[in-house]
Amino acid sequence: MELYAKYSWLSSSLVSVLRGARGSWEDVQEAQEPYVKSIDLVTRRELQHLEFLRQLGRPRVCEMAKLRRGVLFTQAVPGVTVAEELVLRPWDAGPLLQSVLLSLRELHGEEGARYLRQAWPINERSIADVFTRKFRGPAAARYVVELGQGRLLEDERAAVVDLLGNAVRRLLRLTGAIRPHQRTAVFGDLKPEHAYLSGHRLTFIDPALQWSAGPEPDVAKLFGRTLLLGFCHHEMRAERQVTEGVMSALSRYSQSVSRGDRTDRAERLREVMVLWLMDTVNILSTCLSAPPAFPLTSSQQALVLRARRVAAVVERGSGLLIGSASGLSLLDAIFSEVENTALDLR
């Protein structure tokens, strides 16, 4: 039986720990031992979420093995990830994304909300919370200025830092677009890499259940990370197919919610856009701030290589969000900017 092991360092990313965000290595080691024994250990909460999802029945999740000394062991899932399918079949991006969201319908409903009222959410994976921790406070300006050191050529790095700095300032102003009412449970870490496809059956790994006003955080992360896969594809045609699939799926999502209430629909779509851009800045900045010797995955390496393109999309998109556009007109405008950056920077 093939197992995967997952461990948490003080509820922080390994990149943050290695950057010294939690103090010296001696400080981390001293704090880690009581953290592993605490009730708020991330892997312990994830185990609880997996147990609930197995009882709920949908979405289907990986089999658990055990939690031992803070390490969560889960069984390997057969099949290929949705991320791998998107690379192989970019023309199917729209239906694939819709099938993932459909699998989460029960979690986004009353049963998911009822469970989370009595459980401990994993807010450490919240898009907005991660963004705020990174970019609000006295250390944020230095963090942005130092992005890409040791990974990008200096001229390229300066351009990326300038673009991301503009985007971060705007997105901090846009946090009011994230609705405060918490009534829906969301999967929380809904990446295409966290959903496996075996035949026509989807199986999910790495849940980070948390509260939200609606399913928008799941929509934003799933669609945003899918766009990044398209950006990193070596074929322009495939990138366009992925982009069109995301736009189609997002348009269908927008039409399906709050029927008859155009104001609420526009607010939800705006929230998805803000969260999408925040999550994109989160993952790009994590890759760019990783120590030069830190091993990145192949997809993370591809993202670093296209850092200027991604930063340009975020910068232009955040500018549109500050403006007066809303609803599907905003969606059309942002995706036009996605296509324009392909022409400008290729």
Lowest mean pLDDT among 71-75, 78-82, 137-141, 251-255: 251-255
The model's pTM is 0.93
Q: Mean pLDDT over residues 274-279, rounded?
A: 96
Residue 257 predicted with pLDDT over 80: no
Q: What does the pLDDT read at residue 168?
A: 97
Residue 160 predicted with pLDDT over 50: yes
Q: Mean pLDDT over residues 299-311, rounded?
A: 93
Q: What does the pLDDT read at residue 159?
A: 97
Q: Mean pLDDT over residues 20-47, rounded?
A: 92
First-to-last C-alpha distance (Å) of the chain: 45
pLDDT band at 26 (very low <50, low <70, confident <90, very high): very high
Name the nearest CA neighbour of 160 among 275, 334, 303, 321: 303
Q: CATH number of 79-345: 3.40.30, 4.10.240, 1.10.287, 3.90.1200?
A: 3.90.1200
Residue 181 predicted with pLDDT over 60: yes
Q: What does the pLDDT read at residue 37?
A: 92
Residue 304 predicted with pLDDT over 70: yes
Q: What does the pLDDT read at residue 114?
A: 95
Q: Mean pLDDT over residues 308-318, rounded?
A: 93
Q: Mean pLDDT over residues 41-56, rounded?
A: 95
Distance of CA 92 to the CA centre of its chain: 21
Q: What does the pLDDT read at residue 169?
A: 96
- Taking the C-alpha atoms of residue 191 and residue 222, their distance in angstroms, rounded to an integer, is 5
Q: Mean pLDDT over residues 243-259, rounded?
A: 84
Q: Mean pLDDT over residues 217-221, rounded?
A: 97
Whether residue 122 contacts residue 210, with contact meaning beta carbons closer than 8 Å, is answered with yes
Q: Mean pLDDT over residues 166-192, rounded?
A: 93
Comparison of pLDDT for 262 and 315, the residue scoring more: 315
Residue 74 predicted with pLDDT over 50: yes
